[in-house]
Chains A and B, each alone.
Chain A
Amino acid sequence: MSGTKAKDPRFPDFGFTVIDGARATRVPGGRTVEEMEPEYRIKGRTTFSSLFKYDPFDFWVGPLYVGFWGFVSVLGIIFGTYFYLYATVVRGPYALAQNFFAGRIDPPPAEIGLALASPGQPGYLWQMTVFFATMAFFGWFMRQVDISMKLNMGYHIAVAYGVVFSAWCTLQIIRPIAMGMWHEGFVLGVMPHLDWISNFGYRYNNFFYNPFHAIGICGLFGSTWLLACHGSLILSGAQYRGPEGGDIENIFFRDAIIYSIGESGIHRLGFIFACGGVLSANLCILLSGWIVDDWVSFWNFWNVLPWWSGV
């Protein structure tokens, strides 16, 4: 059971220690939200109240925490949704339900480069949607930081969300700037963005040959596989009442594959798989067109490596 066994003192400690008394807080059957939530709903301890001693939005609306960053995020959500729905659904080619799938917002034409489109010009709706979406995502990210601070927990959830937010930034902001035109951003809309992905893969010959794409896919499949293994293992042991307690899960996995990574280990491994896969996916997009134009001929280096070029 990780967290209870001896560590190796010769190496740095990246493990953890359970706070004294944490286990004693367990209540058989648990407490209702009404019973426990007041203990945790305390003002203060947010990014803004740490910096300025005051957070003007330090309150809850129903179950939802707001905070300064929640306010920022809500502004982005309202305006971003307005521009998105106006362009895809209201101005879409078909009836309402089909427009949800078929509607599209194209990025600005290549001619305007990195300039801003004015209202009514092609690309204006795309730029506005992307701007407010980025604002909403960043606000949401900082709001997760705020809630983590409030609950006195680690920032891992915000970090994981930051990783997927970085994928948005890479695709819509960093890579278009690197390529010198907003035109390189992806088309918004359900089916049109799938078209864009499909075309993007074949534009650089074949994305199946992109090694960072391959690592990203491995991260996604690996995440799904780890999620299946972990979820089903916990479900399988949930009603076990034998003498081993929760250690039955470790025993089962040792019987299956010699090693059980442990209760904390599986969550660390899962976090690394999920975030690593998305980070590699970032890289596979960022490198395409900017550094590598053809992922098939990219592999030419393989055949001329000095140690086997003559074979």
Chain B
Amino acid sequence: MATMNPIPTDLELGPASKGRIGKAVELPILENFGLDSQIGPTFLGFWNILAYITGGIFTFIWLTVMAAQVSWNPVAFAKYFFVLQIDPPSSYYGLGFAPLEQGGWWLISTFFLTISILAWFMFLFTRARTLGIRPYLAYGFTGAILLYLVIYIIRPMWMADWSEAPPHGIKALLDWTNNVSVRYGNFYYNPFHMLSIFFLLGSTVLLAMHAGTIWALEKYAAHEEWDELQAPGTGTERAQLFWRWCMGFNANAYSIHLWAFWFAWLCGVTGAIGIFVSMPDFVNNWFQWGIEAGIVYPESPMPQP
């Protein structure tokens, strides 16, 4: 225990408390479910205020334009909420600015959404630095940011056509996802899509494995991971032995989080590559690509050698 620090008794003040607002509120019932009972205080600084404001502007434009589409009727708004959408400009306008009702609102709202996401990255980065921890959360966020930027900004700009970007709307986003797959010859044959799905499902498996392991070992305090990193105890030893006995290989309290980080990050990054190369300049038809790669089962089986 020589390397350990005692649990601080005063949880309200941490390091770098400047900019922190509110007081800690305790909700003991959360402890009944194994959740932390302390809510707040929180922090307000330049970057997260910017993220909240620009994200709020995006949400406001999105909801307001959709409400206008149903003549401000609240019942119709609720009824059609999932199918209302803001379309990007049609390909007629290229990368130029379109009239507000024909894609202009999409350009403006997407601008604010992008600023919000980038500001949130800056917030995560700077706050981690201020607190004296390393900014891995910001690093992990880059996977999701890259996927967002490729889909909404980079690929449409490369194709010189904002209409390639998804509209803002629930059903519209699902339809766009469906259509881009069909348009480029079925994304199931896109190897980067395959990798992205592999990392998506792999992340779910890793989360279930890790979360299940730690939940099963709470009574041995395996969930106190910072402490277990410095000085593994009986909880971590059991966790490691479980997987060693089950599959002949085990991570440790540190390396399981490295696996977690890379699986989740690569899900976004490989997905970004897969969607970027799906355009007439690069790969126009992934089914054709699969046939040429020789991984598609032939329509009429070849004679056996």
Contact (Cβ within 8 A) B210 A30: no
Contact (Cβ within 8 A) A255 B186: no
Q: Which residues of B contact A3 (CB under 8 A)?
A: 34, 218, 221, 223-224
Bound form: Cα–Cα A191–B295 in Å:
7
Contact (Cβ within 8 A) B79 A260: no
For chain B, what secondary structure do more than half of its interface residues adopt (helix, strand, loop), or is it mixed?
Answer: helix
Contact (Cβ within 8 A) A265 B246: no
Contact (Cβ within 8 A) B136 A17: no
Residue of A nearest to B238 (CB): A151
- CB-CB contacts of A236-249 with B at 8 A, as 1s and 0s? 11111111111111
Q: Which residues of A contact B91 (CB under 8 A)?
A: none
Given contacts A26-B233, A268-B215, A104 and B297 within 8 Å (CB-CB): yes
| Residue B15, interface by CB 8 Å | yes
Bound form: Cα–Cα A62–B244 in Å:
10
Number of interface residues of A (CB under 8 A): 135
Residue of A nearest to B244 (CB): A63
Q: Which residues of A contact B295 (CB under 8 A)?
A: 98, 101-102, 190-191
Contact of A151 among B242, B254, B256, B260 (CB under 8 A): B242
| Residue A82, interface by CB 8 Å | no
Residue of A nearest to B139 (CB): A232
- CB-CB contacts of A82-104 with B at 8 A, as 1s and 0s? 00000000010110001001111
Number of interface residues of B (CB under 8 A): 127
Bound form: Cα–Cα A252–B123 in Å:
11
Q: In the assembled complex, how far is the CB of residue B22 from the closest CB belonging to chain A, in whole angstroms?
A: 8
Residue of B nearest to A6 (CB): B28
| Residue A234, interface by CB 8 Å | yes
Contact (Cβ within 8 A) B178 A206: yes
Contact (Cβ within 8 A) B1 A157: no
- CB-CB contacts of B81-102 with A at 8 A, as 1s and 0s? 0000000000000000000000
Bound form: Cα–Cα A271–B206 in Å:
10
Q: In the assembled complex, how far is the CB of residue B3 from the closest CB belonging to chain A, in whole angstroms?
A: 5
13 A-B Cβ contacts within 8 A? A3-B218, A19-B220, A62-B248, A154-B218, A156-B212, A231-B259, A234-B226, A235-B261, A237-B133, A237-B226, A252-B133, A254-B39, A270-B208
Please name the 5 residue pairs, one residue from A and one from B, whose CB atoms are nearest each other, closest first.
A246-B226, A262-B36, A231-B260, A154-B216, A228-B264
B contact residues vs A (CB 8 Å cutoff): 1-8, 11, 14-15, 20, 26, 28-43, 48, 73, 75-76, 78-79, 123-124, 127-128, 131-137, 139-141, 143-144, 174-175, 177-178, 186, 188-189, 194, 199-201, 203-221, 223-238, 240-242, 244-249, 252, 254, 256-261, 263-265, 267, 290, 294-298, 301-302, 304
A contact residues vs B (CB 8 Å cutoff): 1-8, 11-19, 22-31, 33, 36-37, 40, 60, 62-65, 91, 93-94, 98, 101-104, 143-144, 147-148, 150-157, 159-161, 163-164, 189-192, 194-195, 197-198, 206, 208-209, 214, 219-221, 223-252, 254-271, 273-275, 277-278, 302-303, 305, 307-308, 311
